Amino acid sequence: MTELMQFFIDGAWRDPLASRSHPVVNPATEQPMYSVALGSRGDVDVAVAAAKRAFETHSMGHAERVALLERLIEAYQARTKDLAAAVSDEMGAPIVFAEHFQVKSGLNNLIATLNALKAFKFEERMGSALVLREAVGVVGMITPWNWPLNQITAKVAPALAAGCAMILKPSELTPSSASIFAEIIDQAGVPRGLFNLVNGLGPEVGTALSEHGDVDMISFTGSTKAGIDVAQRAARTVKRVGQELGGKSPNIILESPKFEDAVSGGARYLFNNAGQSCIAPSRMLVPISLMNDAAAIAKRVADDIRVGDPRSTDTQMGPVVSETQWNKIQDFINSGIDEGASLVTGGPGRPAGINRGYYVRPTVFAEVANDMTIAREEIFGPVLAIIGYRDTDEAIRIANDTPYGLGGYVSAGTLDEALDVARRIRAGTVNVNGAVFDRAAPFGGYKQSGNGREWGKIGLEEFLEFKAIAGAA
C-alpha cells in the first residue's frame, strides 16, 4: 500500500498545509503498513471553502442525482476486492467477512438510498402552503473504524441524494478504505467540491469541522463521550447534529423450542467483527432456570470459532483494531472476573497458539448481574454477558436499564410473542426471531445512543431542510 499523504479536496488530490503523519498498524502483525497525513484546521478551512463553493454553484435535478448514485454503485462494485483488502488489513476483519459483510454493507446503503431517492417527493402541498425539502448545505462527516464503509456510505449517499456538499473525516485507523472510496467518487463523476476528504485526528480535524461556521450540519458516528463533545462544539454555531453513538444491546431470549438456536445465533452474532459493533447483542437475557443450558451452548459457539490470520479464508475472527482497544477489552474481562461473574470460557490474554497481534479470546460470562461493569459499559470486543431473569416483565426491565438505546433483539416461540416484547424495548432498532436489518427502515438510537436516523427515506430526510411557502395554492 502506498503512503496516504494527500487529501481529496475540490476534485483533486492535494498536499496538506503542514507535513504531519500517523502510522497505520496492521493489528494482526502489530507492524506499521504505511503512514497517513494528518490534517489541520487550515486543511479543514480549505475543504469547507471548496464544499461551500460547490454547494452554491452545482445544482442537480432529481434525475441527475439518481443517475449519479447509479454510477456510484457501479464504480463501488468494481472496487470490491480492493475495499475488502483494505478493511481486512487495517481493522482486522477476516477477508471473507470483509468482502461479504463490511463492503456489502456499504453497497446496501447505496442501493437503499437510490431506491429511496427514486420515490422521494421534494415538494408537497400542505393546506394552502407549498412545502419544499431542500439540502441542508455543507455537511461535516466524522466516521469510525469498526464498520468504515458502512458508516461512510450511510452518510455520503443520502447527502448526495439530498444535494449537499460534504467533508469526510474518516478514522485515522482505517484511512485506506476511505481513500479508495474517494477514488470511487471521482470515478463516478461526482461534481468537484461536493465530496472532500481530510484525514486527521478527532481533537484537530473533528473539532475544526464541529466548530466551523460554514458547516451547516455534523453527522457523527462514534462513542457517546466523543459525541457529546461534538454536540457541544457544534452548538456554538447552532448547526444541526446527527449522532449514532454507543450501545449495550439486550438480546431477550424467551423459553421456547427455538431456545438453543436463539442462544447459539445470538452468540455467533456477537462474535462477528470481533464484537466491534455498536449494535452487538452483548447482553444475553435468558430465564434463570435455563442459565446453565445457555452458558453451555454459548461456550460451544465460542470454543468453535476459528481465530487467526484475517487474510486466511478459513478465519472466522481476526484481531481487534489496536493495542489500545485490546488493553481496554482485557480490563473489562478482568473486571468481570473481579466482580464475581462466572467465566464460562475465554478470559484474559491471547488465544492459545497466538503470540502476536491484537487477538482476544472469545469470552463468555454467565451469572452476570446488570450492575456489573461488563453489563453496563460498551466493551466493543468479543465478550458476551449472560444475565438471568425470572419473568418477561423483569427481562424487559433489565433490557431497558441502560443509558443506551441503540438496538435490541428478541427470540420467542411465535412472532406475536416476540413483537409484544419488542414494542416494550426502549431502542431505535429491534430485531425479532433472527431477522436481518432492512436498509429501507431507519437506523438509530434512543437516549445516549444518539439522535437522528440513517438509512432509506428517513435517512435522506436527515440531510434536508423544510421550507413552507404560504399562499402558494
If you count DSSP H runs as helices and E runs as strands, how many of each does the chain have, helices first? 16, 22
Among 312, 317, 323, 306, CA closest to 357: 323
Among the listed residues 172, 278, 454, 462, the single catalytic one is: 278
Q: What is the DSSP letter of 129?
A: E
- Rounded CA-CA distance 114/102 in Å is 19
Tell me which amino acid residue 138 is. V
CA 310 from centroid of its chain's CA atoms: 20
Write the CB contacts of 242 (distance below 8 Å, at least 6 apart in sequence).
217, 218, 219, 220, 450, 451, 452, 454, 462
Among 232, 252, 250, 249, CA closest to 241: 232
Tell me how many degrees the CA angle 95-97-102 measures, rounded to the nearest 5. Answer: 105
Among 96, 91, 246, CA closest to 172: 91
| Burial classification of residue 422, based on how many CB atoms lie within 10 Å of its CB (0-12 exposed, 13-18 middle, 19 or more buried) | buried
**How many angstroms separate the Cα of 463 from the Cα of each of 115, 206, 292?**
16, 19, 48
For 203, left (φ over 0), alpha (ψ -120 to 50), or beta? alpha
- Rounded CA-CA distance 425/234 in Å is 30
DSSP 7-54: EEETTEEE--SS--EEEEEETTTTEEEEEEE---HHHHHHHHHHHHHH
Q: Quick count: other Cβ atoms within 10 Å of Cβ 355? A: 7
**How many angstroms separate the Cα of 162 from the Cα of each of 11, 20, 59, 442?**
19, 34, 11, 16
- Rounded CA-CA distance 176/89 in Å is 10
Residue 244 annotated among the catalytic residues of the structure: yes
Among 450, 444, 455, 417, CA closest to 433: 417
Among 215, 183, 210, 197, CA closest to 43: 197
Among the listed residues 244, 367, 378, 462, the single catalytic one is: 244
The residues annotated with a catalytic role in the active site are: 244, 278
